[in-house]
Amino acid sequence: MDYGLKSRIASILKPNNGRGVMLAVDHGYFLGPTEKLEVPKRTIAPIVRYCDSLMVTRGVVRSSVDPNFPVPIVLRVSGGSSIIGEDLSNEEITTSIKDAIRINATAVTMSIFVGAKYEHKSLVSLGHLVNEAEEYGLPVLAVTAVGKELAKRDARYLSLSCRIAAEFGAHMVKTYYCDDFQKVVNSCPVPIIVAGGPKLPERDALALTYNSIKAGAAGVDMGRNIWQSQYPVAMIRAVRAIVHSNYNLDQAYKLFQQLAKGQPEQQSRGNFNQNRNQNRPQGNRPNQQRPNQSKPNSQRPNQGKPQQGQRPQNRPQGKPQQKGQRPQQRPQQKQQNRPNQKPQNQNKPQNKPQQKPQPKPAQTPKPSPQAATPAPAEQKTQ
Ligand code: R5P
């Protein structure tokens, strides 16, 4: 693989563990002003520093992302249908590679619609996009979209779609989590990134993240489950802790609760025993609870936060939370800074050392639209 291609992929999927947290904010390209993404700049600013890459359209990059604090851009280059139109699968390439390069995109992305009316068009577009993008060393992320047919999200269909995307030359594939997700991962020769889907309760979205990573996903490309949360900073940091610091579900949810309440976080490390990425420096450590006081946060590497040197300048208000500080929230969220959850029972053992070498997957509800609280227009969308 050429240097350019490889280095661009490395800024999306970190080379130390092959994983990444992609923040999806491209929904407006077919959904318009989706709930909590009405003003993209306001949605993006508080959370962008916690992602490794941003999935976005050229319109929102130019209007709503600060070029002085660059983040790897995964540029959506397909579109052509809207939620109120006839068929969401009727997409074409709408943004040129030249413009992607002008924007300084790190990768380009488009949707494919396997089995849909416009399957042929989307697959041929993928082939052409790979041809063109490879000329400039730009990786292509293929999104296995299902349009309004959410029921399609099973292992058989998603394996078919992901494999076809990889066969067409996609360098990474984004798909949905499903039962038997390992089958999808195992039959796809390129890294798989999992979409969040419609909004779920936070613990369920973290379970989806945890189970995806445990099954071998390279990361998540999550949107609504982060920025439609009442606590988007807490949520993305908890997601990040699973992806990059091997937090298990309980640990990640506890971190979410602590950050949402404005409590100082208690450091803990997760432990994935089932993981195909073997080159993680922090892998397979015992799952221990660390006292909060031992070291300042800045000295602890990779604890669910961007590491030093990772766009540290992109801070809306100084450093990320320090002990005793409230989490950074958008002004209107400060007043609602009360978690819905009951206070944690301090006597309850949290972050128990894992005794079983291969923990069962956390219960992940199928990301069904019924369980979600999306905007009305989103209820039946990809
Ligand atoms: C939808 O078509 C977009 O590609 C989104 O980026 C994707 O669905 C991921 O966002 P979410 O986690 O909200 O599903």
pLDDT tens-digit readout, 151-209 = 677 999 999 999 999 999 999 999 999 999 999 999 999 999 999 999 999 999 999 99
Pocket perturbation via mutation, ligand 1, pick of 22, 25, 26 by most ligand atoms within 8 A of CB: 26
pLDDT for 329 equals: 39
Asked whether residue 157 is assigned to any structural domain, the reply reads yes
Asked whether residue 342 is assigned to any structural domain, the reply reads no
Asked whether residue 204 is assigned to any structural domain, the reply reads yes
Q: Which atom of ligand 1 is closest in space to residue 24's alpha carbon?
A: 6
Determine whether the shortest distance from the Cβ of 26 to ligand 1 is under 6 A.
yes
Confidence of residue 112 (pLDDT cuts 50, 70, 90): very high
Q: What whole-number distance in Å separates Cα of residue 159 and Cα of residue 279?
A: 26
Higher pLDDT, 148 or 74: 74
pLDDT for 1 equals: 76
**pTM metric for this prediction:** 0.75
pLDDT for 265 equals: 61
Does the structure show a pLDDT above 50 at 303? no
Q: Which atom of ligand 1 is closest in space to residue 196's alpha carbon?
A: 12
Instruction: Kindly state the tokens that stand for 307.
Output: 């590491």
Confidence of residue 300 (pLDDT cuts 50, 70, 90): very low
Confidence of residue 266 (pLDDT cuts 50, 70, 90): low
Asked whether residue 252 is assigned to any structural domain, the reply reads yes
Q: How far is the CA of 39 from the centre of ligand 1 (A)?
A: 17
Give the domain range for residue 56.
Answer: 3-271+364-378
Determine whether the shortest distance from the Cβ of 382 to ligand 1 is under 6 A.
yes
Asked whether residue 66 is assigned to any structural domain, the reply reads yes
pLDDT for 58 equals: 98
Determine whether the shortest distance from the Cβ of 143 to ligand 1 is under 6 A.
yes
pLDDT tens-digit readout, 207-239 = 999 999 999 999 999 999 999 999 999 999 999
Of the given ranges (39-43, 219-223, 346-350), which has the lowest mean pLDDT?
A: 346-350
Which CATH number covers residue 249?
3.20.20.70
Higher pLDDT, 133 or 329: 133
Strand partners, 111: 143
Does the structure show a pLDDT above 60 at 144? yes
**In the annotation, is 174 catalytic?**
yes
Asked whether residue 138 is assigned to any structural domain, the reply reads yes
Number of separate domains in the chain: 1
Does the structure show a pLDDT above 90 at 114? yes
Asked whether residue 104 is assigned to any structural domain, the reply reads yes
Asked whether residue 162 is assigned to any structural domain, the reply reads yes
pLDDT for 146 equals: 85
pLDDT for 153 equals: 78
